[in-house]
Amino acid sequence: MLQVRHLSFSLGIQNLGVKGSLFEMYLFKKLASTWLNVTYRGSRQTESWDQCLVEIFSPSQGIETLPEDKTRLRPISAFQGGYDAEIMDQAEGKVMFVQVTMAQKHSFKLSFFSKALKVFNIPEDGAWKVEVGFLVPLEELARLEISRIEDSGALEKNGGKRGDEAMQVDVVGVSIMQSGDQK
């Protein structure tokens, strides 16, 4: 399989949007078929995100019932604002919004997450753990900056703390040259 970096360099792709789309396609294809080793910026802790089911959904309509198994929900539109996927784990009562980016600065719009939680009927009592992660290439892990936060406090009913949203975000790096990949 061609790697994103190899493809970008060999084709001379300088457009950040195109690189980001290739990076996103690679990551989600990999997560649907195997696993991803990720590194968290703050703790430098490494963990494996296991393979999970993939369901495409419309954020305006949600899905009829929450999946029982750990599932990655991918918005039907590639232009969905705020996040590129949700990793939903009903057994653990946990949802993680994932925003894939190649940018060094990124805005953080909380209203998208709040609306999605309502569409999926996630209780606003704090019983579910709600996480937000920006997924970046490993070599960009230290560089990503949250440039602007909009709708501060939108996740308070789900355990978020108004004004501390940037501190509650996980910046997660992934190597696009993981073992087992073909060059």
For residue 165, which of 144, 145, 150, 181 has the smallest C-alpha distance?
A: 150
Question: What is the tens place of the pLDDT at every residue in 137-166?
Answer: 998 899 999 888 899 898 888 888 888 888
25 versus 181: which is more confidently predicted?
A: 25
Per-residue confidence band for 13, with pLDDT thresholds at 50, 70 and 90: low
Cβ atoms 23, 173 nearer than 8 A: no
If one compares 89 and 25, the residue with the highest pLDDT of the two is: 89
What pTM was estimated for this model as a whole?
0.83
pLDDT in tens, 115-135: 888 888 888 888 899 999 999
Cα dihedral 70, 76, 81, 85 in deg (nearest 10): 20
169: which strand partners? 132
Q: Which residues contact 171 (CB under 8 A, 6 or more apart)?
A: 40, 41, 42, 133, 134, 136, 141, 144
Q: Decide: residue 15, CB within 10 A, 0-12 exposed, 13-18 middle, 19+ buried.
A: exposed
Mean pLDDT of the region 107-112: 89
Q: How confident is the model at residue 11 (pLDDT cuts 50, 70, 90)?
A: low
Give me the pLDDT at residue 23, please. 84
Closest CA to 171 of 135, 145, 131: 135
Contact in structure between 160 and 154 (CB atoms under 8 Å): yes
Could you tell me the pLDDT band of residue 7, with boundaries at 50, 70 and 90? Answer: low
